[in-house]
Structure 1
Amino acid sequence: VRPGTYCEPKMTTVGSQDTTGPMTRDELKDLACLGFSTDLVMQSFCHTAAYPKPIDVTTHHTLPDFIMTGGGVSLRPGDGIIHSW
């Protein structure tokens, strides 16, 4: 993209990591978001899987259903990380 040119980016993938996932879920609910419009939405649990606090365990059980209901993919704790994004 050069200065003065118009560019309209298209978002095709979204990665959400577990420490911000609950906040993202709350924001999407506040916006009445019923589904995702990108080709891929993936939720990971890379930051809380190894040493989860009690609140993390709750998130591990509730966040995947929310993501999958919206049409996304949810990794399970221990499945891996998405830091390459």
Structure 2
Amino acid sequence: VRPGTYCEPKMTTVGSQDTTGPMTRDELKDLACLGFSADLVMQSFCHTAAYPKPIDVTTHHTLPDFIMTRGGVSLRPGDGIIHSW
């Protein structure tokens, strides 16, 4: 891409970590997002699985359904991390 040229990127893969997941969920609700257009959207719980706070436990129970109803994949707490993705 050169300066002054138009570019419309296509996202084929999106990874969301648990520390930003609730904020992402709120933003997607504000945008009335009913489904993801990327080929793969994956939610992980890599930062809060080992030592969850009470709010994290709530997020572990509510965020996966939100992601999956929009066509994404949600890992379970303890399934692994996506840092090297």
TM more than 0.5: yes
Unaligned runs of 5+ in 1: none
Aligned to 1:15: 15
- Using the size of structure 2 for normalisation, the TM-score is 0.92
Shift in CA distance, 6/32, structure 1 to aligned 2, threshold 3 Å:
closer
For the residues of structure 2 that align with 1:5 and 1:31, how far apart are their CA atoms?
28
Unaligned runs of 5+ in 2: none
Shift in CA distance, 41/7, structure 1 to aligned 2, threshold 3 Å:
same
Q: Residue 38 of structure 2: SS of its match in structure 1?
A: coil
What's the offset of the Cα at 1:7? 3.7
What's the offset of the Cα at 1:8? 2.9
CA deviations 1:32-61 (Å, max 9, x no partner) are: 110100000000000000000000000000
Percent of residue pairs bearing the same amino acid type:
98
